[in-house]
Each structure stands twice: as C-alpha cells, then as structure tokens.
Amino acid sequence: GKEAGCVALRTGNAAGLWDVQNCEVKARFLCKKLAEKVTVPVASETTSDSKCPLGWDTSNSTNSCFRGFVREEDQKKTWFEARDFCREIGGELASIRNEEEQTVIKNLIKKKSPSFQPFWIGLQCLDPDGGLSWSDGSPVNYKADNYFYDTAFQDCGAIRENPSLSWIKEHCEYSHNWICEIKKGTSLKPEPLGSSTTYEVTEDGWIVNGDKQYFFSPEKASMEKARTFCKNNHGNLATIGNNSERKFLWKYILKKGKLNSYLIGLFQNADQQFSWMSGSPVHYAAWAPGEPNFAGTQENCVVLNRKDGLWNDVSCGFSNGYICERHRSFINATHPSLPSTPGGCPADWILFKNKCYKFFGTGYDWWNTGLRVCRSLGGDLASIPNEQVQAFLTYHLKDVSNDVWIGFNDLLSELNFVWSDGSAVSYTNWAKDSPKLIEPIIYASLHPEDGQNRQQFDCVSLKRGPADETGKWNNEACYNYRGYICQKDSVPELFKSPATVLDFAFDPSSSVSYSVTRSKMNWEEAHQNCNNNASELVSILDPYSQALLFLIAKEYGEPLWIGLNSNMTNGKYQWIDSWRLVYSKWASGEPKQTLACVYLDTDGTWKTASCEEKFFSVCKNSDVTAPTEPPQLPGTCPESRGHKSWIPFSGHCYYFEASKKRSWSQAHDECARLGADLVSVRDYSETNFLSETIKILHGKSLNFWVGLKKADREQWVWTDKSAMDFVYWEVGEPSNKRLKDCGELCALTGFWNTNLCSFKKGYICK
C-alpha cells in the first residue's frame, strides 16, 4: 500500500503474505534471536577504496559509481533498452539506496541536462503482485513513498529535476536518457554500438514488419484525405489485430514519430459499432481509460496515441497523423478510382452531386435537435465541401424564412471547426466578422477562470440575408432557434435519370426560366438571339439567381454573357430588361470604365470585356416585369448653419468640406453626424455637378474623400450601399497596391483615385 505503517504476516487464505497495518493495531508477533554458540560474522566496511572510471560520479559513503547518458532524440532508449545497455557495460540501471546516492544523482543530472528531461533509473513495477523493486532485484527501501504507481499498469521509474528532484512513473516503452550504476573497482566493458532497433525500409519509404508494410505520415490530415493517400499507394488505414502489432506501431512512433496521435483504420457508425476499414473483424482493442466516449456524438474515427500507445476516438474531420498499411506483395500499378454509383432521392429530398438534401426552413430548432432529426432520417446535418455545393444550398435559401443550421461546429475543440458527419474541411465561406473570436461575457461572476461565463458560439448557420451576406457562414449559440438542412447519400435503387443543375434551373412551373446558348456570340448577337426567342439576356437580381447562374457556368465550364452593357444605358451599368441594379457580384478591380459589356465568369464573379468577345450566353424569360421608377419627390435641404452649407441637386443634398481636412474614417463619421454619408456617384450628370462645384474649392483641397471603400474579396463598394453601376476611375485605377483601400475624387479632373485611408483630405457628404 501507499500509506505508512507496520508490516504484519497474514494468516488464513492469504497466509504468508505481508500486509501494512496501522501500528496501533494489536496483533500477535514473532521474535528472532541468534542460537547459542553461534559466532556473529564481522561486517565488512561499507565503502571501498576502489575508484570510479573516468567520467563517473560517486561519494565517499557509497560503493557505487553513477553516470548519466544523454542522447539525441532518435537515440534515446526505452527502459528495457537502457537496462540492457547498462548490463552490457558491466553495470545496472541506477538504484538509489540512501540520501547520499540521491545527492550524487541530483548533481550529475544538473550537470548533464539543464532542460528537465527525465532519466531512466532501475525502479520498476513489472510484476504488480511483487510491487516495487530495483532492476537488480533488490527491494525499494528509500523514498518509495515519493514514487506514485498504479498496480493496474506495468510502469517503470525515472528521475527528473523539475524544479526539485522527483521520481516519476513513465510507460516503459517511452524513450529517455538514462543513468547507469557500477560497483567501484569494476572494469568497464565497451559500449554497444548503434541503435538497438533497426527497420527494413522499402524504396518508397514504407516500414516492413513481417508480411505487412506501414507508412507513418510526417504531416497531419483528416481521415478522408489520409485514407485517399493510403488507397493511392495500394493500402488502407492500418488495421491492428493484436497486441504485438500495436506495440510495433507504437514503438516506431515513439522512436521516429513527430506527432502526438495517428489515425488508424477503425471507425464507428451512428450505432457506435466498430469496424475496420479493411473489412477485418474487430477481435482486439486497446482503448485509453475512459475511451471511447463518442463525445458530442461526433467522434467516429480512432487514433493511436504516441504518449501511451492506446486508442482514443476523435472527430474524423480533425487533422491527425496517420498510419497506412499494405501487404508486402501489393501490385505497383495505378488503380482507377471507381465512380460512385448514381442514385436518386426519396420524395421531398433534392438530388445534387449524388447527395440528397432536405430543407427544414419553416420550423425552428436548436442545432442538436436538427442533428438528431437528420440522423434519425439516415443522414446528418449538411456539410459543404466546395463552392458548388455552397451555391446549390444558397439558391434554395429562397425557399426558407430564416437562417439554417449546417453541420459545422467547434463543440469538441474551441475554434477547431469540423463537420458533424466527419468529412474533411476543404472549403469555408465565413460571413464578415466570423468566426467570432471573442465571445461575450454573460455571467461576470460565473467561473471566469475556465471560460464558462462566456456565451459559446459553437454552431454554424447559413445566413438568409442581407443580400451581400446570403449563404455566408455565421457561428452562434447552438441553442438559437433556426431551420436546418439535412444531407444523406443518394440511393441507387431510386435512380431515375441523370440529374444536373439544369433540372431546377429550367423548372417550367417557375415564373422565371433560363436557357443557355452554347454557340459563342458577341454581346449584341447574344442580345438579339434572346430577343428572337421572346426573352432577354439575363438580369441577376438577388443572391439566389446569382448562385444558380454560377452553377450553370460551372456546368458548362464557360463564361456567360449577361444583360449589362453600359453603352446601351447612358454609361451606367443597368439591366437592359429595365430592372434596377441593386445586387452585384463584381470581381476585384471591376467594372472597368473602358469596357462596356459584362459576363459571368466560371468563378461566379462579374467581369467587363470588349463587346466583340465571343462567349456562351444565358437568356431569361420572366412573367414579372420591372417596376417603373417612382417620380422624384420635392424636398428641401437642411438650413445652412455657420460654415455648413448644403447644396441641392437631383433629389439629394450635398455638403462640401475643403478647409477642415480629415482621414477617410473621420470624414465618414462627420457625415454620419450630419445624418448623411460620404458621397456616392451614380451617373455622368452627378459627376459633372460634383466636378463643377469642387473646382471652386481646388485651391483649398486637391482631392476629396468619397464613399468608395475596398471591401471583402477586393471589391469596391459605396458605403451608402448604392449599387456599383457606374465608374469613373482615373487611368490605372483602381490600384491594387496594399493599403490603398479608400476612394477620393480629384478636384481638377473629377476622376476617382485610390489612396491610403489615413491621409487627411477634404470630403463630400450626401
């Protein structure tokens, strides 16, 4: 036991075994004395005059010499290897029998290793029934209570100064430095050469063990990517069928591995049943204490831990090291990956890219409820592996009334987001200011030390709006009420016909339909072609139709002419079917003032081009006509007060400040204080008005801040959220130089330039 006490000899069923009892307990006792006429042998001196070999440490009160052996990481030894090393040179792993020997070892550790590294000593508990002993078989009589061990495990002892000297238990297969002991006067034998463990390695770097070969990854990956690598190299994630295989893999990663955990081929389904990916039956397991715990119902994969060689269940989406396995007789040939069997979906589910989706957009539930419902239907909350699935889901947000949950979450590890179905994280589409890194304090006095007083933003939803944020990802509290999207594999038995994005693009029951012209035409030819078919080049009025048109461009792999041509709309970019341009998806640096016609590129952004370029095109037929513009209502501008004078023009009021120069953000705040915004410029007539007015002020300020700001994805936007349907950039602008993120209007020419937002200039409010 670990408690101090007096030793008694047990009787009965445990007769002969020793037991530790409280010394106040009354018991029978045995006495022992020398028989008559027996001569007592004279005790020999406790110390020897013999010396220690060079480099070994000792003291006058011990017969032993000690030496620490410090090696590079890949040359450190397990406890057994260190014991064998010491025996080969004529000694043993160090035993510590008294305070003097402890002091000798303390001093040599300080001298050898200032970095608090452990050193193996001879302490061991390899036989739980036998208790603690030294590697030479002698009992532990000194400071045994300083060594905490668990008789359920086979542990070995090490010593470390951190900061004071202490004995610690370590798994015997760990690799450490070590301390040997020899008796004074003993002749040293030569040190054994080289490492005690060598591995057979194939030409492509796989480790051979019997009829199997293993690859130990130097880098982390999700299970999906790890398994793809293994399969591409004629293997699979490793199967561990017995303890010897586990120990072989563990010893290798202890010696050579640089990562803390390695994926193996064991996985569990929603019923928490385990299977090997190789198809082998599960007859052996080596779980760490408390595992598997299936945390958050999201831990479906298994790793081998470097620290103890035991298994732990983890999310398949987390990146870990991994171990591949193949048979040594594999055929080195490229095997084409088999396409997945096409399938169909049950009623009320939508097929896309061989997956089935169902939107629960009218009822609202917590994230966990959505997950439970999706799994009860044989699926999971939706995962988004690429921009095409993102666009598909965004398009269908038109049919829901609120934000919707997807499977992305960081419930298992803060800000380490994974998909609830365990798929790899290969794409993200965060909203502005997401993911939220700082969570608000909701209970100031509740557990501030462990963060439990903060609101947890652990679950992710797709935003329904506003338009420029539709489809973006937002992390929020999991108990918020949202709709949700379920996803599951398609069913081969339900396969009907090849489904494409065009199936829902050309739904005849919809008030809007699209047709793609797959002949390359210039813009005017494309426009005329649509008119000949009682339709018009497409206008994109919202993020839903934008997502659909992007999918069409991806489907054909070609850019598509759309219904924007500034030559036909008085220099402005306005839809030729008379709809106002209230939503836009301009690429970085667009629109270009010298190019009038616009196409949707295969990356989903809008770009300008010469109208003589030849592209595919999309025609749109709609039952809904564009509303007529309301007449401009009469109104008045604020009264002039002090130096502030408002000038009316075309239904707006303008304030020009040339004397008190401000940075862009200061100017923006000044306009807001006046109930206005930095000016946006909508057309040539407004440009001429601004130019004529500021020419008078040219001497006071060469340039004036306007409401142009570079936003996400390098797009230029107006801060009053006006559409970017007209541009008047100076030649060579907008600049792509770093930090030139704000727009100004040149007093001399009226053209727009970019500049550093911190510069102080005049400004115009509107």
Q: What confidence tens digit (pLDDT) does each residue in 639-682 have? A: 877 667 888 888 899 999 988 999 999 999 999 999 999 999 98
In this prediction, residue 547 has a pLDDT band, given cuts at 50, 70 and 90, of very high
What is the rounded distance in angstroms from the CA atom of residue 562 to the CA atom of residue 516?
A: 11
Kind plus residue range of the DSSP H or E element containing 6:
strand 6-9
Q: Which residue has the tokens 């489809």?
A: 471
**Can you spell out the DSSP letters for 373-397?**
HHHHTT-EE----SHHHHHHHHHHG
Q: In 540-570, which positions are buried (b, 16+ CB within 10 angstroms) versus exposed (e)?
A: bbebbbbbbbbbbbbeeebbbbbbbbbebbe
Where are any strands of DSSP class E within 366-511? Answer: 380-381, 404-409, 418-419, 459-462, 473-476, 482-489
Q: Report the pLDDT value the prediction gives residue 111, as an integer from 0 to 100.
A: 85
In a domain, 32, yes or no: no
284 and 383 in a single domain? The answer is no
Write out the residue range of the structural domain in which residue 318 sits.
Answer: 200-327
* Rounded-to-integer distance, Cα 680 and Cα 722, Å: 7
In a domain, 43, yes or no: no
Among 156-170, 444-458, 649-663, 718-732, which is the least confidently predicted range? 444-458
Same-domain pairing of 355 and 486:
yes
Which of 445, 462, 494 delimits the end of a domain? 494
Which of 505, 508, 424, 406 has its CA nearest to residue 461? 406
Mean pLDDT across 136-162 = 72
The greatest distance separating any two alpha carbons of the chain, rounded to the nearest whole angstrom, comes to 134
Query: pLDDT category, 44, cuts 50, 70, 90?
Result: very low
DSSP 143-203: SGGG----TTS-EEEEEEESSSEEEEEEETTS-BEEEEEEETTPPPPPPPPS-S---EE-T
373-405 pLDDT, tens digit per residue, is 999 999 999 999 999 999 999 999 998 988 999
354 and 477, same domain (yes or no): yes
Nearest-angstrom CA–CA distance, 347 and 377: 13
- Same domain flag for 112 and 169: yes
Q: Residue 234 belongs to a domain with what CATH number?
A: 3.10.100.10
CA angle 472, 475, 477 (to 5 degrees): 140
Residue type, 766: K
Regarding whether 660 and 759 lie in a shared domain, the answer is yes
Q: Does any domain span residue 610?
A: yes
Whether 54 is in a domain gets the answer: no
**What Å distances lie between residue 661 and 656, 666, 691, 701, CA to CA?**
11, 9, 19, 8
**143 has a pLDDT exceeding 50:** yes
178 & 212 share domain: no
Q: Where residue 593 falls among pLDDT bands split at 50, 70, 90?
A: confident
Q: For the chain, how far is it from start to end, CA to CA, in angstroms? A: 84
Q: How far apart are CA 325 and CA 323, in angstroms?
A: 7
For the ranges 5-14, 90-99, 479-488, 704-713, which has the lowest average pLDDT? Answer: 5-14
509 falls in which pLDDT band (50, 70, 90)?
low
Q: What is the pLDDT of residue 448?
A: 43
Angle value at C-alpha 317, between 313 and 323, nearest 5 degrees: 65
pLDDT in the model for residue 431: 92
What letter would DSSP give residue 670?
H
The whole-number pLDDT of residue 368 equals 94
The distance of Cα 649 from the centroid of its chain, to the nearest Å, equals 52
Q: Are residues 215 and 178 in the same domain?
A: no
Q: What is the pLDDT of residue 45?
A: 41
Rounded to whole angstroms, the Cα distance separating 423 from 472 reads 20
C-beta neighbour count of 740 within 10 angstroms: 16
Q: How confident is the model at residue 234 (pLDDT cuts 50, 70, 90)?
A: very high
On whether residue 411 sits in a domain, the answer given is yes
> Is residue 94 assigned to a domain?
yes
Least confident of 121-125, 158-162, 508-512, 590-594: 508-512
Q: Is 636 inside any structural domain?
A: no
Residues 617 and 653 grouped into a single domain? no
Averaged confidence pLDDT in the chain: 86
- pLDDT (tens digit, 9 = 90+) per residue, 548-559? 999 999 999 999
Q: Are residues 146 and 111 in the same domain?
A: yes
Query: What pLDDT, in 10s, does the model give residues 297-356?
Result: 889 999 999 988 899 999 999 999 999 999 988 876 445 555 677 889 999 999 999 899
* Residues 322, 215 share a domain: yes
130: confidence class by pLDDT, cuts 50, 70, 90: confident
Domain final residue, candidates 494, 523, 554: 494
Mean pLDDT along residues 92-103: 94
Distance between CA atoms of 281 and 240, rounded to whole angstroms? Answer: 10
pLDDT at residue 442, as a whole number: 53
Looking at the structure, do residues 169 and 205 belong to the same domain, yes or no? no
409-438 pLDDT tens trace: 999 988 889 999 999 999 999 998 889 876
The 3-state DSSP class for residue 684 equals helix
Q: Please tell me the distance from the alpha carbon of residue 412 to that of residue 621, in angstroms, as a whole number.
A: 49
Contact 711, 720 (CB under 8 A): no
170/251 same-domain check: no
> In the block, which residue shows the tokens 């445990």?
14
Q: How many domains does the chain have?
A: 5
Cβ-contact 683, 570 below 8 angstroms: yes
Asked whether residue 469 is domain-assigned, the answer is yes
- For the whole model, what pTM was predicted? 0.68
Sole residue written with tokens 């979906």: 345
* Structural contact between residues 165 and 159, judged by C-beta atoms closer than 8 angstroms: yes
CB 476 within 8 A of CB 461: yes
DSSP string covering 687-712: HHHHHHHHHTTTTT-SEEEEEEEE-G
Beta strand pairing status for 761-765 and 703-710?
parallel
Query: Residue by residue, what is the 3-state secondary structure of 619-643?
Result: EEEECCCCCCCCCCCCCCCCCCECC
pLDDT classification of 38: cutoffs 50, 70, 90: low
pLDDT reported for residue 36:
76
